[in-house]
């Protein structure tokens, strides 16, 4: 068992590693998200390493707790672990309090993983100086140190810039004497260069790429500008959709994100929001699965909500990715909210969703009333009038 501490050394969660290779379930079992333990805000061993990170002006980032312990015991005290996930923006901002320099110990597979690359892209955008520690032996720092600690120390000293690493890896795979090779190299490296927040550094790498490809720097810069313009247009389009057609979808996402991140509010949600109000089919299905899980498994003990169990259940309906996205949304939007503020936000969002729902229902009933009046359908008109009055009374309750 590995205790996970906050910056001050207080335990806020645990990570347990299975002892048997054939153990059922994941290799690591972690404390679920709580108000105290927010994994996107925590870096393993930072409480012990922060002073050394300041002293060395460098944070060495490894993947898991075992790697961090091995590296620390070998004598490299400025080491932290991302606990098997990509660095988040919040973690990067925390690191910037202590240093602007990070060195990431890649294993052979991690270097190409999109999740790891997202963390690196965020670090570059935040103008951190990112280096890569290339291991000369083993699949991770732990294996490397067990073979020979000096191999690790040498790898740390010889850490290379992340852009140098990307350039080397890319040029190994393409033939720069052919136009196809040049296009492939540019397609791989330009998006990375575009992520660099510091313009002087960005220009340096553009010039290096231009020299390697034997093309004008301006041509490469134009490609970056075109890509940026395209992304900006796509972002504007998404925002227009969000603020018009998908305003209700945003509310539904927000509601379910809150209860998945703060499950103490689940019974309140079930008591105050009927499933039919959530019109999006995937979100409606997820909400119904939440209701089933609550009423069937934890109604008598709401504190026993286990996200891992629920996640496994909804994976059968291919809703696990949606659930994870909602939890990330809540981590981003509500990470510093106290329980009272969370309940207030949930209540407010539920009311907005209900008002929108009932308003749409009223408009539909008004159309039906006009049609019934035109066709002289008195009985239908009476039924519709009753429905209309019921919805009006519901809206008054929400005011």
Round the average pLDDT of the chain to a whole number and report it. 85
Radius of gyration from C-alpha coordinates of the chain: 27
3-class state of residue 255 by DSSP: helix
As to burial, measured by CB atoms within 10 angstroms (0-12 exposed, 13-18 middle, 19+ buried), residue 161 is: middle
Q: pLDDT digit string (tens) for 193-218?
A: 988 988 899 999 999 999 999 999 99
Percentage with pLDDT > 70 across the chain? 89
Q: What is the pLDDT of residue 238?
A: 44
Q: Residue 16 above 80 pLDDT? A: yes
Rounded to the nearest 5 degrees, what angle is found at the Cα of 306, between the Cα atoms of 303 and 311? 145
* Rounded-to-integer distance, Cα 385 and Cα 398, Å: 20
pLDDT-based confidence at 41, cuts 50/70/90?
Answer: confident
| Phi/psi at 3 (5° precision) | -70, 135
Residue 85 tokens, joined: 């996930």
Give the containing element (helix H, strand E) for 234.
helix 217-243
Q: Residue 111 above 50 pLDDT? A: no
pTM: 0.57
Residue 19 tokens, joined: 């002892």
As to burial, measured by CB atoms within 10 angstroms (0-12 exposed, 13-18 middle, 19+ buried), residue 381 is: middle
Sign of CA dihedral 50, 51, 52, 53: positive
Pairing of strands 101-106, 129-134: parallel
Q: 118, 89 in Cβ contact below 8 A?
A: no
* Rounded-to-integer distance, Cα 399 and Cα 394, Å: 9
Higher pLDDT, residue 248 or 245: 248
Count CA atoms closer than 13 A to 80's CA, side-chain side: 31
- Give the domains, in start order, of the chain with CATH numbers: 2-158 (3.40.1360.10), 171-242 (1.20.50), 247-398 (1.10.860)
Percentage with pLDDT > 90 across the chain? 40
Q: pLDDT digit string (tens) for 303-329?
A: 788 888 888 888 888 888 888 888 888
Residues in Cβ contact with 305 at an 8 Å cutoff, skipping those fewer than 6 apart: 263, 264, 266, 294, 298
DSSP states along 23-63: -SS-SEEEPPP-SS--GGG--BTHHHHHHHHHHHT-EEEES
Q: What is the pLDDT of residue 84?
A: 58
Provide the angle, in degrees to the nearest 10, between the axes of the packed helices 162-173 and 199-213: 20
CA distance from start to end of the chain: 51
* Rounded-to-integer distance, Cα 324 and Cα 320, Å: 6
pLDDT-based confidence at 145, cuts 50/70/90?
Answer: very high
Residue 56 tokens, joined: 């060395």
Q: 84, 28 in Cβ contact below 8 A?
A: yes
Higher pLDDT, residue 329 or 149: 149
Measured in whole angstroms, the distance separating CA 195 from the mean position of its chain's CA atoms is: 18
Q: What is the pLDDT of residue 287?
A: 93
Closest by CA position to 135, among listed 101, 172, 108: 108
Beta strands of the chain (E only): which ranges?
A: 2-5, 11-17, 28-30, 59-62, 79-81, 101-106, 129-134, 160-161
């Amino acid at each position: 068992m590995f205790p996970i501490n906050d910056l001050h050394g207080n335990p806020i969660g645990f990570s347990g590693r299975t002892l048997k290779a054939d153990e059922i379930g994941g290799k690591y079992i972690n404390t679920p998200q709580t108000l105290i333990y927010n994994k996107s805000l925590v870096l393993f061993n930072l409480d012990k390493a922060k002073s050394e990170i300041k002293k060395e002006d460098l944070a060495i980032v490894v993947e898991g707790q075992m790697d961090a312990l091995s590296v620390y015991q070998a004598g490299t005290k400025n080491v932290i672990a991302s606990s098997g996930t990509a660095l988040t923006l919040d973690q990067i901002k925390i690191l910037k309090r202590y240093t602007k320099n990070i060195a990431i110990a890649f294993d052979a597979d991690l270097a190409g993983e999109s999740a790891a690359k997202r963390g690196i892209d965020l670090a570059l955008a935040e103008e951190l100086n990112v280096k890569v520690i290339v291991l000369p032996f083993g699949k991770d720092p732990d294996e490397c140190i067990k073979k020979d600690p000096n191999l690790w120390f040498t790898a740390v000293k010889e850490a290379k810039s992340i852009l140098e690493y990307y350039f080397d890896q890319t040029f190994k795979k393409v033939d720069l004497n052919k136009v196809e090779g040049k296009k492939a190299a540019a397609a791989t490296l330009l998006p990375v260069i575009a992520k660099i927040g510091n313009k002087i550094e960005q220009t340096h790498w553009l010039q290096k790429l231009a020299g390697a490809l034997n093309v004008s720097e301006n041509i490469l810069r134009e490609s970056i500008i075109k890509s940026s313009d395209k992304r900006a247009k796509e972002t504007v389009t998404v925002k227009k959709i969000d603020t018009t057609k998908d305003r209700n979808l945003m509310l539904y996402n927000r509601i379910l994100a809150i209860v998945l991140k703060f499950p103490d509010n689940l019974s309140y949600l079930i008591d105050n929001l009927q499933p039919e109000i959530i019109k999006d089919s995937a979100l409606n299905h997820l909400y119904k699965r939440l209701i089933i899980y609550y009423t069937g498994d934890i109604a008598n003990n709401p504190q026993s909500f286990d996200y891992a169990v629920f996640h496994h259940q909804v994976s059968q309906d291919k809703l696990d990715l949606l659930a994870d996205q909602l939890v990330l949304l809540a981590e981003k939007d509500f990470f510093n909210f106290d329980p009272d503020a969370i309940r207030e936000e949930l209540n407010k969002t539920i009311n907005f969703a209900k008002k929108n729902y009932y308003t749409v229902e009223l408009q539909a009933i008004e159309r039906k009333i006009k049609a019934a009046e035109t066709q002289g359908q008195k009985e239908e008109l009476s039924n519709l009038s009753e429905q209309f009055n019921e919805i009006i009374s519901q809206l008054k309750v929400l005011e």
